[in-house]
A = this chain, B = another copy of it.
């Protein structure tokens, strides 16, 4: 915990506003972070605000400064992430800030992007701007956890979702799983998809459930729908092969036969991998600009994704139902544990009601984040 300057206090309401603004871009900014900014004039009056809405579009600081115009002179910029100092798709924010005549910048946290990483702050200080860093740092880091994770680890943050009965079953013994969860829980899954950059399933889920995997229009563009398949045993007809509303990627390993490849549907993009490995897939998806992926797969792939460190968070819907079962239809396969000392621990601070169901959102602990 960094020591926070007591002079921060007066900026707290504005940083909270900047965090709220940043959240408006949730799900739309990848590979960029969420950023919100507020400009106050030299009397402390609000004269501009903005958020980063989409990669390629103006940064939060640029929008807020443009709104403020000349009123920014001698004023304060409050921003949720360190301003960039490099030329990307848009000009460096540090230069706009210096030009604006802003005399103070309050920053929640340094940008972990190696192209910034403190250089933005240095550039401002060198230009004579008073810079305060660390106000609501934890909140800002939590808000941008998927971006930060991707920058640090080179792969997107993974959320694994399943819906189960009170006795821990994800389907009946005959495979029937529609519907364990309530309409409200299923709608919530649509909203979860809308803030993810990609939704991943295995071939088995395509074969058995023929899912649509969209946010039902909540986000535009829809998240990328990814099928990770080792066998390439895919049905010729599937909702995922219709790419008019959302893109589909079929990712497969190098042992796929040419004959099988030729039989694949035409519309989806093909993504050849060395092996059909979750980690290799995520590295490839990082290259496609994904900060966050949602695993909506069956037990086999889900277990493999956890084992490879591709899952940072669980979203578990528990329905007030009892399904029973014989020897299958559980959310996960064996993780090879033989002692309670080995089991994975999760946070337990987030549970809420979704219709008649309960939703647990638990961070997997003891993982690199």
Contact = CB atoms under 8 A, between A and B. Distances in A.
A332 interface: yes
A173 B176 CA distance: 25
A247 to B, nearest CB: 31
A351 interface: yes
A177 to B, nearest CB: 8
A257 to B, nearest CB: 30
A351 B169 CA distance: 19
Contacts of A201: none
A333 B174 CA distance: 14
Interface in A142-170: 164-169
Contact of A324 (B176, B303, B320): B303
Contact of A339 (B176, B306, B326, B330): B176
A104 B165 CA distance: 50
A343 B174 contact: no
**Contact size range, A:** 35 or more
A331 interface: yes
A121 interface: no
B348 A351 contact: no
A167 B362 contact: no
Contact of A176 (B336, B340, B357): B340
A205 interface: no
B325 A330 contact: yes
A340 B306 CA distance: 29
B330 A169 contact: yes
A2 interface: no
Interface in A308-346: 314, 316, 318, 320-328, 330-340, 343-346
B172 A332 contact: no
Contacts of A364: 322
Nearest to A327: B327
B362 A332 contact: no
A178 interface: yes
A165 B327 CA distance: 17
Nearest to A320: B348
A325 B321 contact: no
Contacts of A333: 324-326
Nearest to A162: B167
Contacts of A173: 334, 337-338
Interface of A: 164-169, 172-174, 176, 178-180, 303, 306, 314, 316, 318, 320-328, 330-340, 343-348, 351, 353, 356-358, 360, 362, 364
